[in-house]
Amino acid sequence: MATYAPGMRIIVRGEEWMIKRVETNSLGNQTLQVVGITSLVNDYESRFMTDLEKSIEIVDPAKVKIVPDDSPFFKKSKGSSCRDRCSHGYGTWIVFGTINNNVQNSVF
């Protein structure tokens, strides 16, 4: 059985989610309270029971690639538009940029 924790990113049913809370249900299995990250489920809250889901893939943070944000006015690193293009489980990357010599990071 996998260990889940708040803040982890997972892929369930082809969409990427972030775990907000992990609870143990009355049967002793884990229930994951999540919020959607990818465009189809963006900001949608749901619950997944680990014993009923066929496939829960944990997004490995070691495989995240950091790339510079070269878009005008740093559009890639602002809000959900970055999530739509940047943060889908298999090709996950984080966009960062600078504004007025202050570093801004976008981590999803």
The Cα–Cα gap between 24 and 108 comes to 26
Q: Calculate the dihedral angle through the C-alpha atoms of 67, 84, 57, 66, rounding to the nearest 10 degrees.
A: 10
When comparing pLDDT for 96 and 1, which is higher?
1
Would the CA dihedral through 61, 106, 84, 18 be positive or negative?
A: positive
The Cα–Cα gap between 99 and 50 comes to 42
When comparing pLDDT for 34 and 106, which is higher?
34
Both 72 and 93 in one domain: the answer is yes
Answer yes or no: is pLDDT of 36 > 80: yes
Domain that holds residue 16: 9-58
Both 35 and 71 in one domain: the answer is no
- Alpha carbons within 13 angstroms on the beta-carbon side of residue 102 total 3
- pTM comes to 0.63
Domain ends where: 42, 58, 74? 58
Strand order in the sheet with 30-36: 45-49, 30-36, 15-24, 9-12, 56-58
- Over range 54-78, report the average pLDDT: 84
Residue 80 lies in a domain: yes
Residue 3 lies in a domain: no
Q: 32-36, 37-41, 57-61, 83-87 — which is least confidently predicted? A: 83-87
Q: What is the pLDDT of residue 48?
A: 96
For residue 29 the two structure tokens come to 């299995």
Residue 4 lies in a domain: no
Answer yes or no: is pLDDT of 44 > 80: yes
